[in-house]
Chain A
Amino acid sequence: MSTKLDHSMSLASPEPKGLSTKQKISVAIGLSGLLILLLAAFNIDFPNRPLFLALSLILITIGTIIFANDAYLTKLEGIKNDGVWFKSISSRGLLGWMTGILLTGFYIILYFYPQYIGQGVDGKENTGLIALFDPLSYLLKGQPASQWFVYGTLYTVAILVFGYKFILKYRHNRYQQLRTVSVMFFQLGFAFLIPEFMQALNYPYYDFKNMWPLNYYFFYDWNINGFLNSGTLGFAMLLFGILSIFVISPFLTYKYGKRWYCSWVCGCGGLAETAGDSFRQLSSKKLSAWKFERWSIHTVLVFAVVMTIAVLYSYIGKNPDRSIFTRSQFIWAVVSFLSLLFIAILIYRRKRLDKDAKFAGGAVLLTIVGVLLLNHFSEGNKIFFIESYKLQKAYGFAIGSIFSGVIGTGFYPILGNRVWCRFGCPMAAILGAQQRLFSKFRITTNGGQCISCGNCSTYCEMGIDVRSYAQKGENIVRSSCVGCGICAAVCPRGVLKLENDKLEGRINSNEILLGNDVDLMDYVNNQKN
């Protein structure tokens, strides 16, 4: 039986049940759409660009739709995970690795060598793949396309077509359908159309739902200046961005958990949940992966915070007339905010923090505060020993490009679809802390019904060992949980339910589960409290 799994590296089809004829045809249709893009990328100049662009996108869409219809509508409603670990694409087989390498290569070209896919440099006209998208770009905003426009279009198409597939896959589950419609809507409207139209109207490019620190350039000087140069509306956008960070998002996370963002609104989450759905089972559930995750995601968060402080500090220095703070006031405000936040957490939520979290948090805070004050009072332009633009560059390269793009999406077929969200996203780190410490959200376990089968853990894209909680009758209150709800969907015994409920009793833990002698339950479960 275990030898079965190795077959996925072979070229011959090892699957007990391959693709149907209809599915094969639909794959061919979709691939021919991709072929047009590939040919364009190799600088083949199509005679009628609008026609071929439309043809390509339509073929991709139709291919996916036919595939999804045949895969799901021909069967009764229910969980559709048959053969997931036999398919080469979804079990790190040959197709999986090939897809991973292709995606990674695409991201490297996109971020670092856009001229290879036809980005016109130094005012030259676009060629190749990017030129193919010129007609659409002119249509939307009256400007030629850029690599980001191409990427944004393909990204949106991916979320829409794979979103359709996902909705069919879960056509018995309204939670899954609604949140998928939601990410499709936010991607198409907020991330794609509205920013493009706004550019057409000479407003700054702004994706309203893309919040700092995920949107790490929100406080960059060109972005702030863009807002401030666009009159009342620009100022309102800046204000909305700041409100989102400090008021709107903490409030929504308090009410619904971080899922309101990560699996209902966010674009990264949107791609992960739709195009990435076939890879969710590849995330590592090992305890060691969890330990690594906690360090890596919080390191990125600290990096983002430090970088942003430095950027704002230098902005205030360069634009004293546009700032409501002086540099000193800004430094003291940052120091007080971070310290108060940390103290408040220690006072009100110390029981929910592990020793190492308190220690690491305290150490990082002391370092930041110390360095801030030291640099500020040594009267230079630097605030973290190096120039802010260098920090900015380093962050943009290491986190913005490599981590969130190349690794975060390129490695979908190898490490799972939420690599970025789990190990890197600073926004997920903040929302996660809020979710763990101040939220009504939890996944409730249903008494003693768990049979430890492991479907929940296997299909958790965030690598949470859901079963380890469910089999103890313990609610799942993990900062990393994005509330996708798949664990609850795949559970064969109806054990898990995502809920927003009262704060008390949210975090529970039982040695003895419901169903056993009540006296024994009381005796053992009270012993530890």
Chain B
Amino acid sequence: MEHIVIIGNGISGVTAARHIRKMSDKRITIISAETEYFFSRTALMYIYMGHMKFEHTQPYENWFWDKNRIELKKGLVSKVDIKSKSLHFSDGEKMNYDTLIIAIGSKPNKFGWPGQDLDGVMGMYHKQDLENLEKYAPNNKTCKRAVIVGGGLIGIELAEMLRSRDIPVTFLVRESSFWNGVLPEGESQMINRHIKNHHIDLRLSSNLQEIIADDNGKVKGVILQGTGDIIDCDVVGLTAGVSPNIDFLKDSGIDLGRGVKVNRFLETNVPKIYAIGDCAEQHEAIGLRRPVEAVWYTGRMMGETVAQTICGKKIEYKPGHWFNSAKFLDIEYQTYGWVFAKPKDYETQFHWKHEDDTKCITVSYHKETGEFLGINTFGIRMRHEVFDQWLTDKKDIHYVMKNLSQANFDPEFYKKHESTILTSFQKSQLQTA
């Protein structure tokens, strides 16, 4: 029987395994060094915050794997031998495969900062990072201050986590405004204010120079670039993005770039070896997407797709319209289509913000044709299905603004803002006309 081995038990690998099982009787093994069972990485923060226990982050009960004949193997793969089609584990064990799916995920970026490997310095990605944080920042007596380096989604989540235990947080952001490489200015500024309202010491345009240690090799502070200011702290969180976790594949003969190079069928250069999820890098970007996409749902979609190919229906990975979501402390964010932080030359953006400073939207449309290109929404939930359809139909911006209430997904009885938004949009049109 064909043995399919999947390295990585995250959303990509597990989705692939589930779909292969649905379609076939092949032997399936999932390998992970991190945890015995699949859990939702995005939910790690809620364990530290006390919203959930670890078991709640597991989408399937423990009997699920046996029942579906998906074998689980805990171990660290140190080498892939493509000639003998075998995996070598760090403890010397070996495992043969017929088909290999690399779904190993990412690791936090470290940019060679002095002191980046000290005790008390950590990323926030693996379950082990969480255990580390629990050790070094159990409360605000042990951890009198934490410094977070890197202003992205994980950085703001780590800040929220620490604040839930009343630990003072200094948040170093390289950019002049939070996440403004992705968010248009109005949105980014609103989030800046929201961060400060949560009593987080937000330092914009600030870079880390060095992490300094006490006599025991544990972090005791950071030095800022430029000013040379020292901030005393007990924990440093490094959250300057993630990159594919592929060091163990060097010299394996599998083509690597930033990630594992794959074609549109998610095939690597080696037959019967596939790569999916965060660690896969497309030879050429698909549409306006990036070649490496470390997003929950793209991992899932690649898993769905590669399972078809492996089970005999060879199919290209063709993600649909871009969408994503996140939560910045108390403010939910969703995006459908493309809204660029710095508008492209063909793009016009309309921005509306509620006076309470926790809700806003930015709509992007084509300067000449008026085609709706995308929307960012903060504090107002919107329907994926509706925007997906409107993007496919290439709806006109006026149509979208007039019918915005169709897309509303807020809970019942919430105050509706569509008419205010429409009025504001129409006014902006008069001014530009």
Across-interface contacts of B317 in A (CB, < 8 A): 517
B53 contact set on A, CB distance < 8 A: 2, 5, 85
B414, A520: Cβ atoms closer than 8 Å: no
Q: Is the CB of A452 within 8 A of B42?
A: yes
A4 an interface residue at 8 Å Cβ cutoff? Answer: yes
Residue of A nearest to B18 (CB): A511
Chain B residues with Cβ below 8 Å from A512 are 304
- B315 close to A517 (CB less than 8 A): yes
> In whole angstroms, what is the CA distance A449 to B300 when docked?
11
Chain A residues contacting B325 (CB-CB under 8 Å) are 449, 451, 493-494
| A286–B61 CB distance below 8 A | yes
State in angstroms the CA–CA spacing of A86 and B48 once bound together: 10
Query: Is B344 close to A, CB under 8 A?
Result: no
The docked-state distance in angstroms from the alpha carbon of A79 to that of B308 is: 40
Cα distance A2–B52 when bound, in Å? Answer: 11
Among B19, B54, B197, B381, point to the contact of A446 (Cβ < 8 A). Answer: B381
In the assembled complex, the Cα of A73 lies from the Cα of B261 at a distance in Å of 52
Determine if B130 is an interface residue (Cβ-Cβ < 8 Å).
yes
- Whole-angstrom distance from the CB of A506 to the nearest CB of chain B? 15
Known A-B contacts A81-B50, A82-B164, A447-B388; the reply to A454 vs B301 at CB < 8 A is no
Given the complex of chains A and B, what is the CA–CA distance between A461 and B263 in angstroms?
46
The answer to whether A513 and B329 touch (CB under 8 A), given A1-B47, A449-B323, A494-B381, is: no
CB pair B51–A458 under 8 Å, yes or no, is: yes
Tally the A-B contacts, defined by beta carbons under 8 Å: 186
Question: B106 interface residue, CB < 8 Å from A?
Answer: no
Q: What does the 1/0 interface line of A500-527 toward B look like (CB < 8 Å)?
A: 0000000000011111111110011000
Alpha-carbon separation in the docked complex, A45 to B296 (Å): 65
The answer to whether B42 touches A451, judged by C-beta atoms less than 8 angstroms apart, is yes
The 8 Å CB contact of A516, one of B50, B319, B383, is B319
Q: Is A422 part of the binding interface, using a Cβ–Cβ cutoff of 8 Å?
A: no
Decide if A454 touches B40 in the complex (CB within 8 Å). yes
Which residue from A2, A84, A514, A517 sits with its C-beta under 8 Å from B51?
A84
* CB pair B40 A517 closer than 8 Å: no
Q: Nearest residue in B to A471 (C-beta to C-beta)?
A: B59
Which residues of chain A (87-126) have a CB below 8 Å from chain B? 87
Stretch at the interface among A171-179, A336-344, A406-414: A171-179
B320 within 8 A of A: yes
B25 CB to nearest chain A CB (Å): 18
**B273-296 vs A: 1/0 string, CB under 8 Å?**
000000000000000000000001
Distance of A493 Cα from B198 Cα, bound (Å): 20
On whether the beta carbons of B57 and A453 are closer than 8 Å, the reply is yes
Please tell me the size bucket of the interface on B.
Answer: 35 or more
Question: Smallest CB-CB separation from B296: which chain A residue?
Answer: A451
Is the CB–CB distance between A16 and B411 below 8 Å?
no
Point out the residues of chain B lying under 8 angstroms from A499, CB to CB.
412
B56 interfacial by beta-carbon distance below 8 Å: yes
| Neighbouring B residues of A524 by C-beta, 8 Å | 304, 308
Q: Which residues of chain A in 171-199 are interfacial with respect to chain B, using CB atoms and an 8 Å cutoff?
A: 172-175, 178
A457 adjacent to chain B (CB < 8 Å): yes
- Which of B48, B51, B414 contacts A174, CB < 8 Å? B414
Q: Which residue of A lies closest to B382 (CB)?
A: A494
Contact A520 B409, beta carbon cutoff 8 Å = no
Q: Smallest distance from the beta carbon of A331 to chain B beta carbons, Å?
A: 45
- Closest beta carbon of chain B to A69's beta carbon, Å: 19
Taking CB atoms and an 8 Å cut-off, the chain B residues in 388-410 that contact chain A are: 388, 409-410
Contact of A485 with B by CB under 8 A: yes
Which of these binds chain A: B131-139, B208-216, B360-368? Answer: B131-139
Does any Cβ of B come within 8 Å of A488's Cβ?
A: yes
Distance of A87 Cα from B58 Cα, bound (Å): 22
A447, B19: Cα distance in complex, Å: 19
A-B contact pairs, 25 of them (CB 8 A): A1-B48, A1-B54, A1-B131, A5-B53, A16-B165, A17-B165, A76-B330, A78-B330, A79-B51, A86-B50, A173-B411, A175-B414, A446-B384, A448-B300, A453-B46, A454-B46, A454-B58, A458-B52, A458-B56, A468-B59, A493-B327, A513-B300, A513-B301, A516-B304, A517-B320
